[in-house]
Amino acid sequence: MLWAHVSKLKEVSTFPCYMGDGNAEPIIQDCQTRLAKIVEVMGDSQFIIGDNLTWLDFYFAENLDMLNALSDGFFYS
């Protein structure tokens, strides 16, 4: 179920980069809201689904790196 949320985050962050007008601000705002919900579900877990590393952590991390680059470091600050 969490994969669907991470997948949607990736969709709303990457699709506008290819088809949008080049304005990163709406992408960042939309992703910030979605990311907050994912982080809430994670709680104190070390990884996205719990205490064990899974394929979803790599998928999620790749998207976070892209968002961080798009936002000039906002997501990791």
Query: What's the number of CA atoms in the CB half-sphere (13 Å) around residue 58?
Result: 3
pTM beyond 0.85 = no
Burial code (b: 16+ CB inside 10 Å, e: under 16) for 49-76 equals beeeeeeeeebbeebbebbeebbeeebe
User: Which range has the worst mean pLDDT, 22-26, 28-32, 48-52?
Assistant: 22-26
Q: What is the mean pLDDT of the segment spanning 12-39?
A: 86
Alpha helix positions (H), the chain:
2-19, 25-42, 55-70
Q: What is the pLDDT of residues 36-77, one digit of tens each?
A: 999 898 999 999 988 999 999 999 999 999 999 988 888 777
Query: Which residue type is seen at 71?
Result: S
Longest dimension (CA), the chain: 39
